[in-house]
A and B are shown apart, each in its own frame.
Chain A
Amino acid sequence: MTTVTAPLMNSNEKTRDLPNYVEQIWLMTRRSLLTLLRKPETFMPSVFTAIFFLLIFNAALGGTAAFLPELMSVDYIAFILPLSIISASLDSPAGQATIRDIESGYFDKLLLTPISRSALVLGHIVAGAIVVGGIAALVTLVGFFLGLRPVTGIAGVVMLLGFAAFIGLGFGGLTVGVALRTGSAGATQGAAFAFFPFVFLTTAFFPLDYLQGWLRLAAQINPVTYILDALRSLLISGFDWPALAIGIVASAVLSIVPFIFALTSLRARTVRQ
């Protein structure tokens, strides 16, 4: 005699389609944004630092522009604002958000769902980039109060914010990678500071022609220089497409490499021991 037990409950796991990859990223991004907004201390210091830099550099160095032929006809605020935006993007809150999930155990809970592992990580990275874009918008607004008048108008500002979010993706990937690799809030915070000098080994304060020796060389090989050039072209000289294209390539390099690092860190963390 053959006995087969009765069918089970109304389990519907075979008929229900899981969300596609983009939907998964969106669900995780929305959730990450929600919790970031409830924990503003994770990104507010970046807002204050970026605005502080803008004010202090403009006040301290703005006067020197009158002595530099290349900046004579340029409002120094337009020259220095991109630096302020890039420094804010270094401190993407994505890494700290990842650390919070690891510490609360929610990261492990999400690993028990059928969601893609990379979508789980990308949610925080994209949310961090959106926050960085928002900070850039605030800084630009302050710039307007200080006399900023971009030659490319609203379209240029939108592009500027797009660049900020793009760079935010890269540095978000870096901090998330460190978070996944170490599980340490301190190490994740430190990772952002470790890259801080790169912002200054550029044409941060003066055009390339005024830099000499090792600083000139460092600025020439630093991708951040080309991002600064692209952003400045939007604010000062107009749509300089070659400069913008180089800036996009430099941003892509700064985004893709850390993202690969984040993915390998994720794999290292979730490899089922």
Chain B
Amino acid sequence: MIEDYNIEVSNLTKRYRDGFVAVNEISFTVKAGEIYGFLGPNGAGKSTTVNMLTTRIQPTSGHALVAGYDVCTKPQAVRRVSGVALQEIGIDPLMTAQELLTLQARLFGFNRVEAHERSKSLLDTVRLSTAASKPVGSYSGGMRRRLDLALALIHKPRILFLDEPTTGLDPASRRDIWAEVRRLNREQGMTIFLTTQYLEEADMLADRVGIINHGELVIEGQPAALKAAMGTEVVNITFAEAYQAQQAQQVLATTVQQSQTENETLYLYLNDAASNIASIVSALNDISLQPQSLTITQPTLDDVFLKVTGQTFELLQPSEPS
């Protein structure tokens, strides 16, 4: 079976001059028309990976093909097929949105009339038409992010790279970006490689996610499948002390399929939590362990992250916007 891959990464590594390994031998593929969520905490290696895939920096070793073009030997071809919106938005504050978009279009080969029409259409799409003639320096963070997305889309790229597109945005602006990402993918079949530090974002948008931690790709798969592998429900039990959580885990090892601890909290992964609660509480009573709280939830990608890294994602992150 031949799959049409838009991104093929094999043993990709980035080692900086000071010896720090930001990305360590990661391999993955992204199919045409797929939204791939690249999830990881701050400093995990997400941006370094995007920078290598978009030709900004050169890999130390390994290979990466974007739309079939090698990022090392065919960087110009990669730039022509890719749209890139980076975490740090680089826009000349003295220019207007209309001027920036028109220039970007001209640089990608649109003639003057086409460039003007394309800019106008994208300004409508990202709802910046009324501010199109104002200098970008006067824009809010959300407006700049939407303009950056429009700039990335100007040449109708085959693959769109979005590096933390919603970090620092208010909830309404985040929802706008999510809606636009979904629309681009569904209506235009655009392949989207999206990095994020928000579990919820990866869960909601991505067809598949890859979780990166300390430069290594620790797990990959469809969000639903990854969560299902944890069980259908999670019993979260919090104790006063961390050792109590570990003690409880040992006692309950025979009762539950999977469990893990993080500080004072014990997570039990079950397929039928309600019918097991009584026996769990009873087992804890037998060894005189008194939980401070007990809740039943659905498994999240955070549970998956805890399983593969030994830490909860939330503890590694600044608070996630709602």
- Do A and B pair up? The answer is yes
Residues of A within 8 A of B (CB): 1-6, 8-13, 16-19, 24, 27, 31, 34-35, 38-39, 100-101, 104-115, 272-273
Known: A13-B157, A16-B109, A16-B110. A39 touches B94 (CB 8 A): yes
* Proximity bits, B81-95, A CB within 8 Å = 1, else 0: 110101011111111
B151: chain A residues within 8 A (beta carbon): 109
Pick from B88, B95, B99, B109 the residue with the most CB of A within 10 Å: B109
Nearest residue (CB) in B for A102 is B90
Whether the pair B33, A8 counts as a contact (CB closer than 8 A) is yes
Of the residues A1, A9, A34, A114, contact of B80 by C-beta under 8 Å: A114
Check if B33 sits within 8 Å of A35, measured CB to CB: no
Complexed CA–CA distance, A9 and B158 (Å): 7
Complex Cα distance A5/B2, Å? 8
Q: Which of A12, A24, A110 is in CB contact (< 8 Å) with B156?
A: A12
Q: Write out the residue numbers on chain A whose beta carbons fall within 8 Å of the beta carbon of B243.
A: none
Whether A13 touches B3, Cβ cut-off 8 Å, given contacts A35-B92, A107-B90, is no
Count of A-B contacts judged by CB separation below 8 Å: 119
Which one of B6, B94, B106, B190 lies within 8 Å of A38 (CB-CB)?
B94
List A contacts of B2 (CB < 8 A).
2-4
Main secondary structure, interface of B, reads loop
Please determine whether B90 and A104 come into contact, CB atoms closer than 8 angstroms.
Answer: yes
- Determine if B90 and A108 form an interchain contact, defined as CB atoms under 8 angstroms apart: yes
Binary flags per residue of B102-120, CB closer than 8 Å to A gives 1, else 0: 0110111110000000000
Q: How far is the CA of A12 from the CA of B154 in the complex (A)?
A: 11
B1→A35 contact, CB < 8 A = no
User: Which of A4, A12, A31, A112 contacts B84, CB < 8 Å?
Assistant: A112
| Interchain Cβ contacts under 8 Å between A and B, 17 examples | A8-B191, A9-B156, A11-B81, A13-B80, A13-B108, A16-B110, A16-B155, A18-B80, A19-B106, A34-B95, A104-B90, A104-B92, A104-B93, A113-B104, A114-B108, A272-B55, A272-B58
Q: What is the distance, in angstroms, from A36's C-beta to the closest C-beta of chain B?
A: 9
Q: Is the CB of A106 within 8 A of B91?
A: yes
A106 touches B58 (CB 8 A): no
Contact residues on B (Cβ < 8 Å of other chain), bracket: 35 or more
Q: Is the CB of A31 within 8 A of B32?
A: no
Seed contacts A1-B1, A18-B107; 19 additional CB < 8 Å A-B pairs? A4-B2, A5-B3, A8-B6, A8-B32, A13-B155, A16-B108, A16-B155, A17-B109, A38-B94, A100-B92, A105-B88, A105-B89, A105-B91, A106-B90, A110-B107, A112-B56, A112-B84, A114-B80, A273-B57
Given A109-B151, A114-B107 in contact, is the A5-B58 Cβ separation under 8 Å?
Answer: no
Say yes or no: B91 contacts A19, CB within 8 Å: no
Measured between C-beta atoms, what is the minimum distance from B23 to chain A in Å? Answer: 13
For A17, what are the chain B residues with a Cβ–Cβ distance below 8 Å? 109
Report yes or no: B90 in contact with A5, Cβ–Cβ below 8 A: no
- Any A CB within 8 A of the CB of B11: no
User: In the bound complex, how far is the Cα of B94 from the Cα of A38, in angstroms?
Assistant: 7
Residues of B within 8 A of A38 (CB): 94, 135
Q: Which residues of B sit under 8 angstroms from A13, Cβ to Cβ?
A: 80-81, 108, 155-158
- Using a CB–CB cutoff of 8 Å, the interface residues on chain B facing chain A are 1-4, 6, 16-17, 31-33, 54-58, 75-76, 79-82, 84, 86, 88-95, 99, 103-104, 106-110, 135, 151, 155-158, 188-191
Chain A residues closer than 8 Å to B94, beta-carbon distance? 34-35, 38-39, 100
Q: What chain B residues lie within 8 Å of A101 (beta carbons)?
A: 92
Minimum CB–CB distance for A121 against chain B, Å = 15
Query: Do B92 and A106 touch (CB < 8 A)?
Result: yes
Given contacts A3-B1, A27-B107, contact A8 B189 (CB under 8 A): yes
Report the minimal beta-carbon distance from B182 to chain A, rounded to whole angstroms: 15
Provide the bound-state CA to CA distance between A11 and B58, in Å: 26
What distance in Å separates the Cβ of B26 from its nearest Cβ neighbour in chain A?
18
> In the complex where A1-B1, A27-B106 touch, is A109 in contact with B90 (Cβ < 8 A)?
yes
Query: Shortest CB–CB separation between residue A61 and chain B, in angstroms?
Result: 40
Asked whether, in the complex, the Cβ of B58 is within 8 Å of the Cβ of A9, the reply is no
CB distance from A52 to the nearest CB of B (A): 28
Give Cα distance in the complex from A24 to B32, angstroms.
Answer: 32
Q: Is the CB of A9 within 8 A of B190?
A: yes
Is A272 touching B57 in the complex (CB atoms < 8 A)?
Answer: yes
Is B109 a contact partner of A9 (Cβ separation < 8 A)?
Answer: no
Closest A residue, CB atoms, query B82? A112
Asked if B188 and A5 sit within 8 Å, CB to CB, the answer is no
Distance in angstroms between the alpha carbons of A112 and B104 in the assembled complex: 10
Cross-chain contact A104 with B156 (CB below 8 angstroms): no
List 7 A-B pairs, minimum CB-CB distance, nearest first.
Answer: A105-B90, A16-B109, A5-B4, A272-B58, A109-B90, A9-B188, A106-B92
CA gap between A1 and B86 in the complex, in Å: 40
Pair A5/B33 contact, Cβ less than 8 Å: yes
From residue B312, how far is it (CB to closest CB) to chain A in Å?
33
Q: Which residues of A contact B58 (CB under 8 A)?
A: 272-273
**Does the CB pair A112–B79 fall under 8 Å?**
yes
Contacts of B79 in A (CB 8 A): 112-114
